[in-house]
Structure 1
C-alpha cells in the first residue's frame, strides 16, 4: 500500500467526528444525504468473452478509439470461465456513450456493454439523541436480546463482507471483530509463533490480543498506534513487518490482510465517510466489553470492502470487484480447509439501473452458497417511499435467489416514511430509523435509512449461521422469511409481510427444517357452474406470514359487474393461521341468451394488481336462460 496514504487515513481515524461527515441537522432533526456527484467522466463497462485475447481487445480499442482505465479479471471470473471486464472511456468527442455502447455490442467477442453507473449510500443522518439500542431490544426490534439470553452471541468463525465506505478498524468496539486473511498471514515468517488461543482453528484479532501472543516477542506484535490494543492499524503500519509486498493467497491483491480499498486501490480500507463503520457496528460491535454498544453478534469477523468514497459515492465496477473478492475469499478458505464460514455481503447502497455485470457477480456469489443482503432504498430524490415492484430500485430488485431486500421500520413498527417497499421485490422489514451504532474515531451516533435496516438482517443471518453451522444459504434465507413476525405496516408491502425476529429464526433452525419460499394456490369450488349458482374460491398459501394481504380480480370475455348479484370484480383478503382465506360470488341469472362464458380469477400480491402470484383459475359459466318465444 502507499505509506503516505496510510498516514493520511490513520490521521483521520484519530480526529474524525460526526459533524465532519454529516452536516448539523436541520430543525426537523432529519435530512437526506446530499446526492453524490456523478462520476468524473462517462465510463462504459465492457464484458469480453473468454476468447477475447489481449491482442483482440487492443485491436478493437484502436478501431473504436477508446481507452481502458481499469481491467477486472477476478479469480471468481476466471473460475466461472468469464472473460475480462474492462472500464472504458470514449476518446471521440462527437460520439455519445450510448452510441459507443452499440458499437461495442456489435463486436462478436463482446458479451455486453453498459454504463459504469454511480452507486451511493442509502442512509439518512440526524443529531445523536438516542442512547439505547431499540433495534435489538425494542418491541419492534430484532429480538437479538432474546437470542443472547439463550447464549447465541455469534462466532469468530462466521465471516460477512461489508461492501461500503470501509470500516474504522481501530475502533474500540470493532477491532476484535475485523477479519484477518489467513491466506496472507500463513506465509509470514513469524506465523508459526502465533497461538490460536481460543481454539477456533483461526488466527484472529482475538488471538493477537491474548496475553500469550502479546508477551511473545517472536509473534511480532506491537501497538504502533498506542491505543492500548492490537488492531488492523498496527498490522498495516509500515514498520510492523506484516506486509511483505506479496500476493501470498494469489487472489490478485497484495497484502490484503483485512480486505481491500477499491476506491484508492490499496490494502487499507479505512472508513473516511462513517457510513460503513455504522453498518459494521450493527452487525458486529463487540459485546459484553463494558464499552459503547453491542452488535447483533458479540463476536464475528467482518471483511472491510471499501467501494464508496468519503463523499458516499462509488462506481459499479468497484461493487463488482468487491462482490467477487468476497466470493473468492470464501472459495480459497474452503480450499485451505479453514474452519471459517462465509455467509454473504451487506450492501447498504444503491443507484443506477440494471447492470448485467453486477447481476453476474451476484450469481457467482450464489453459486458459492453466499447471500447478497441489500437495502430496499430511501424513496429516490424526493425521499418519499416508493413501490419497488413498480419503480425498480437496484441492487435490491435483482431476482437472483440469494438476494434479500430489506425495508426500514420505526420503533413503533411503522414503515419508515423514506423506506421503499414491494410485495414481491422486498423481502422483510427491520429496524432502520434512529439506529445507534459506531462511528469513526471511537464515536457513536444515530443514523436512519434502509442502510441501517440491512445490517440488522445481515447480523441476524450471521447469528443464525453460528447457531446452525450446517444450514445452507437458502435454508438461512427461507428460515429468516418464514420466521418473520406479521406486521400491519408490512402486510402487502413485503414478500413475508413481516419484520425480522432473529430469536424465532434460530428456534426454527434448531427445530423443524426450513421449507421452500412462499407459494400460492387458487382453487374455485367448481370448474363449471350454471347461472344463479355461487362460486367460492379458496386461496391456500405456504410459508407466508399470518395476516398477509392478497388481492384478487375477476375478468373474462364478456364478464362485467352485471354478471354478479352483488359485490365487486376486485377484492382482498388476509391469510389466517393456516395460510388460507376464501371469497364468494353469486352468478346472476340475467335471462339473456349469451352462450357459455369463461370466468378468470387471478391473485395478486399488490393492491395495484400488477404482480400476479399463483396461476389463473378459470370457471365455465353455462347459460341456462332460454330464448323468448317470438310473438
Structure 2
C-alpha cells in the first residue's frame, strides 16, 4: 500500500550533532548485501524457451491438450497441489518466443501469459542454514502444529523453515483439517505447508533465510503478548535462495487458497520486468495484506523499480531498513516546540536509513529494524543479520497484532501502522522514504 506522504518532509530541521558512532559488533554477522556493489543490482534472467499460461476457469483438460499440440509444446508442468490455473510450457529453442506468446494470448480459453524468469535473490543466510541433505519428519512437523487454527494466519513465502534450528519449541504451525483440499504428490501428503522446490510436504529450510524471518515474527508476537495466530510456511526458494517465476506463482496461489490467510510475508524481490500474472493475482486478493522487502542495493526504487515492493496495489507494503546512531550531544536548540508537534527529537539516538536499504518516496512505505537484528538458534549461537528481508517480518508481526485488535482489512491495518509508528525527525532534505518507522 503506497501510503499518503506527510507534509513534514517540507520541514527542515537544523541540528548540529557530534560524536555519532555505531555500536560495536562482535557476534556472527550476516549481511544480505555484504558481497554486493551498491547501485549495481542483479537482474533476473529470462528463459528463451518457456512461457507460463493461465487458463480460464473451467477450461477442460482435453482443450488444454489440443492447445499444447497446436503450439508444439515439448514439455509442460503443472503446479503442485491440484492447482490447474497455470502451466509452464517449454518450446524448442528455435521458436520465436515473443511471437509464440502473442499468438497464444489470442486463443480462446487463455486468460493470460507470462515469461519465465530465473531469480538470483540475495536472500541467503550463511551460517544459519541447515544441511541440504537433511530434512524433517512428518512427526516433527506435526509436533509444531496448533491444535486448531484461530486468530490470524500468516503465510511466509521463503526458503522454508528449519524446525531443528528454530529456538521456539511451542506449536505455531498452520493445521490442516478434513474440510481442506490437501496437497498430494506421489506418496507425499500435506502436513503443514508445502515445498514447491522439491515437490514434497517437508518445508525444511536448507538456506536459513526463512527460518530467521519466521523467528523474527514469532519473537515480536511474543513480545506483543499475541498467541492467537498460526504460520503457514511455503518453500518457494531453494538452498541458494533462488527461484523461478513459475515456482513463485504456484507457491503464491497455494498460500492464498488456504482458509484464513490474512497476511503474507514476502521477504524477496527483483528488478526489471514486473511480470504480468503476479501483480494480477495480488490484486485478486484485496483482503490479504502483502508485506515485502524493498531491496539491499541502496538505490531509489522510484527510479529503478524493485518488485514486488514497487507494485502499486493498495494491499501491499514495501519495507526498508533503518539504523541507529548514538548521539552524544545536541548543541543547538530546536526552532519550534517539538512536544507540541508530537515529535520526539531529543533522543540519545539518531535514526537514519540503513546504508544498504533501498528507498523511494512512493515505493517504500515504512522503515523498520533491519540492521544488526539478533537471531539465536536453539544451540545458543548468536547471529546478527542485516537486510530489508529482516525488516519486513517485524512489520508483519505488527500487522498481525492490529488484525487481532479488530483491524482486519489491509487499509485498516496500514492506518494503524501509521498512527502507532514513530514519526521520523527530518534532519535534512531530501526525504527518501515514508515518514514513519515501525519498531
Normalised to the residue count of structure 2, the TM-score between the two structures is: 0.71
Q: Taking structure 1 as reference, are residues 89 and 296 closer, same or farther at Cα in structure 2, changes over 3 Å only?
A: farther
Q: Is the 8 A contact 1:44 1:115 kept in 2?
A: yes
Q: Is the 8 A contact 2:124 2:241 kept in 1?
A: no
Q: Is the 8 A contact 2:263 2:289 kept in 1?
A: yes
Match of 1:116, SS state, is strand
Q: Is residue 249 from structure 1 mapped to residue 180 from structure 2 by the alignment?
A: yes
Alignment of 1:398-547 (within 5 A): 398-412=311-325, 413-438=351-376, 443-466=381-404, 468-469=405-406, 471-487=408-424, 488=426, 492-494=431-433, 496-501=434-439
**Deviation, structure 1 residue 43:** 2.5
Where does residue 114 of structure 2 map in the other structure?
114
Match of 1:58, SS state, is helix
Which shifted more, 61-70 or 35-44?
A: 35-44
Q: Taking structure 1 as reference, are residues 443 and 462 closer, same or farther at Cα in structure 2, changes over 3 Å only?
A: farther
Q: Is residue 394 from structure 1 mapped to residue 320 from structure 2 by the alignment?
A: no
Q: Taking structure 1 as reference, are residues 25 and 301 closer, same or farther at Cα in structure 2, changes over 3 Å only?
A: closer
**Deviation, structure 1 residue 117:** 2.0
Q: Is residue 163 from structure 1 mapped to residue 97 from structure 2 by the alignment?
A: no
RMSD: 3.5
- 1:260 corresponds, among 187, 194, 202, to 194
Distance 1:259 1:345 in 2: 13
Distance 1:287 1:426 in 2: 23
Q: Taking structure 1 as reference, are residues 272 and 458 closer, same or farther at Cα in structure 2, changes over 3 Å only?
A: same
More helix per residue: 1
Match of 1:117, SS state, is strand
Which protein has the larger Cα radius of gyration, Structure 1 or Structure 2? Answer: 1
**Deviation, structure 1 residue 258:** 1.6
Q: Which runs of 5+ in 2 are unaligned?
A: 1-27, 129-148, 326-350
Q: Taking structure 1 as reference, are residues 481 and 411 closer, same or farther at Cα in structure 2, changes over 3 Å only?
A: same
Match of 1:325, SS state, is helix
Q: Is residue 181 from structure 1 mapped to residue 182 from structure 2 by the alignment?
A: no
Q: Taking structure 1 as reference, are residues 25 and 397 closer, same or farther at Cα in structure 2, changes over 3 Å only?
A: closer
Where does residue 133 of structure 2 map in the other structure?
none
Q: Deviations over 1:347-403 (max 9, x none)?
A: 00112521221112212332xx21110011122xxxxx2211121111111122110
Where does residue 355 of structure 1 map in the other structure?
275
Q: Which runs of 5+ in 1 are unaligned?
A: 1-22, 78-82, 129-154, 188-247, 289-293, 334-341, 380-384, 502-631
Q: Is residue 302 from structure 1 mapped to residue 231 from structure 2 by the alignment?
A: yes
Distance 1:127 1:267 in 2: 25
* Higher normalized contact order (CA 8 Å, seq sep 6+, divided by chain length): 2
Where does residue 214 of structure 2 map in the other structure?
280
Distance 2:182 2:277 in 1: 20
Q: Deviations over 1:119-146 (max 9, x none)?
A: 3545476899xxxxxxxxxxxxxxxxxx
Q: Deviations over 1:170-193 (max 9, x none)?
A: 34523425313141xxx5xxxxxx
Q: Taking structure 1 as reference, are residues 53 and 285 closer, same or farther at Cα in structure 2, changes over 3 Å only?
A: same
Distance 1:45 1:440 in 2: 41
Q: Taking structure 1 as reference, are residues 298 and 449 closer, same or farther at Cα in structure 2, changes over 3 Å only?
A: farther
